[in-house]
Amino acid sequence: MESKSYAKILERIHAALEASHAVFARFTPGAIETEYKAGHDPVTEADRALDAVLRRELLREGEGWLSEESVDDPIRLQRSRVWVVDPLDGTREFVQGIPEFCVSIGFVENGKPVAGGIYNPATKETFLGSIGNGVLYNGVSARPSQRTSLDGALVLASRSEVKRGEWKPFENERFEIRAMGSVAYKLALVSAGLADATFTLTPKNEWDVVAGAALVQSAGGFVSTLEKTDLTANRRDPLLSGLLASGPFLKEKLVALIEPYLRLAENTP
């Protein structure tokens, strides 16, 4: 599929992000009733309302659907074009009124994340892009960090991972670690050059990362799994071991940084 034909996909993503505005207007971050799923993950009425709106705006005949808030339909495995969405990534932050949550929409073709859209209603930031068309940040063309060294770099970390002590091994490195909610939002910031890199050595689901990975790659940045392979999506098991993302010139530095910790994890009984 030629990149120019993703224009229609981007129109649908943009329309879905716009439709999410009205849903968010019905809820007040920090003052919303919360339920808890198995595993203590919070879920709110906003998550479910957003899921319904996104499905209505995005899904067409013959396409697959994978969403954190929908029962998984294995028919998606037979589809070449699949939507992978997290209606509200960063629900914990949303519940606490921390402005680090977003709608995350990824579009996958033949297993490759090729287009994405992310909208943070608290900061009024919109990221939209596709392979061959680049990334727009609030409607303006953006590119990832051109930094060539991790010295002085801004690396975004998961707030919950920092709290659990998972970033302690990196505290003496020569880059700034900033804790933040929503992996999708972190990836979006990297795609637009608003941060230099982000990574997680903790498992994440496809709906957490596909949109952000599509944006980083569309902008010309670097994305890799912990197995040092390209991210493939719409797999039967959507759980990934982790993910790395950065500007294009930090690829080798980032892989070298985390490699010892991967070996450590592999050798742990």
Confidence of residue 269 (pLDDT cuts 50, 70, 90): very low
> What does the CA dihedral 60, 13, 68, 109 come to, rounded to 10 degrees?
60
Confidence of residue 25 (pLDDT cuts 50, 70, 90): confident
269 C-beta neighbours (distance < 10 Å), count:
2
CA dist 51 and 166 (Å) reads 31
pLDDT of residue 14 exceeding 90, the answer is yes
pLDDT at residue number 75: 96
Residue with tokens 């990832």: 144
Confidence of residue 254 (pLDDT cuts 50, 70, 90): very high
Can you tell me the mean pLDDT for 218-231? 96
- Boundaries of CATH 3.30.540.10 in the chain? 3-142
Would you state the structure tokens that stand for residue 144, as one six-digit string? Answer: 């990832």
- Boundaries of CATH 3.40.190.80 in the chain? 154-267
Percentage of the chain lying above the pLDDT 70 cut: 90
pLDDT of residue 4 exceeding 80, the answer is no
pLDDT of residue 181 exceeding 80, the answer is yes
pLDDT at residue number 46: 85
Q: What is the mean pLDDT of the chain?
A: 91
The matching CATH number, chosen from 3.30.420.40, 3.40.50.300, 2.40.50.100, 3.30.540.10, for 3-142 is 3.30.540.10
Element (DSSP H or E) covering residue 17: helix 7-24
Q: How many CA atoms lie within 13 A of 243 on its CB side?
A: 33
Backbone angles phi, psi at 103, to 5 degrees: -90, 135
pLDDT of residue 110 exceeding 80, the answer is yes
Whole-structure pTM value: 0.93
> What does the CA dihedral 245, 190, 220, 108 come to, rounded to 10 degrees?
70
Confidence of residue 35 (pLDDT cuts 50, 70, 90): low
- The letter for the amino acid at 181 is G
Beta bridge partners of 137: 127, 140
CA dist 79 and 3 (Å) reads 19
Domain 154-267 fold is D-Maltodextrin-Binding Protein; domain 2 (3.40.190)
CA dist 208 and 50 (Å) reads 15
Can you tell me the mean pLDDT for 33-62? 79
pLDDT of residue 263 exceeding 70, the answer is no
Can you tell me the mean pLDDT for 61-72? 94
